[in-house]
Structure 1
Amino acid sequence: MSEPLKTSSGRLGVLTSHLLTAAPLSLRAMASEKEAALAAVPSDSPTIFDKIINKEIPSTVVYEDEKVLAFRDISPQAPVHILIIPKVKDGLTGISKAEERHYEILGRLLHTAKLVAEQEGLQDGYRLVINDGPKGCQSVYHLHIHLLGGRQMNWPAG
Structure 2
Amino acid sequence: MSGCVFCGIVAGEVPGFTVADEPDGVAFLDTRPVFKGHVLVVPRTHLVTLAELPAGALPGYFRLVQRLSAAVETGLGAGGTFVAMNNKVSQSVPHLHTHVVPRTKGDGLRGFFWPRTRYADDGEARGYADRIAAALT
**SS at 2:9 equivalent:** helix
The answer to whether the 8 Å contact 2:38/2:100 transfers is yes
Residues of 1 paired with 2:95 and 2:58: CA distance? 13
Tell me how large the CA RMSD over aligned residues is: 2.2
Q: Which residue of 2 aligns with 1:143?
A: 96
Distance 1:156 1:125 in 2: 16
Q: Which amino acid aligns with 2:49?
A: G
Select the structure with the greater relative contact order (CA < 8 A; seq sep ≥ 6).
2
1:157 aligns with 2:92: no
TM-score (normalised: structure 2): 0.67
How much has 1:119 moved relative to structure 2? 2.2
TM-score (norm 1): 0.59
Matched residue type, 2:17: T
Gap regions ≥5 residues in structure 2: 114-137
Aligned equivalents of 1:93, 1:107: Cα separation in 2: 18
Does 1:125 pair with 2:43?
no
Overall identity of the aligned pairs, in %:
24
**Pairing partner for 1:116 from 49, 68, 80:** 68
Counterpart of 2:135 in structure 1 is none
Match for 1:111: what amino acid?
Answer: R
Q: What SS is found at the alignment partner of 1:80?
A: coil
Deviations 1:4-33 (CA, angstroms, capped at 9, x unpaired): xxxxxxxxxxxxxxxxxxxxxxxxxxxxxx
Q: How far apart, CA to CA, are the structure 1 residues paired with 2:33 and 2:78?
A: 19
Q: SS at 2:55's partner residue?
A: helix
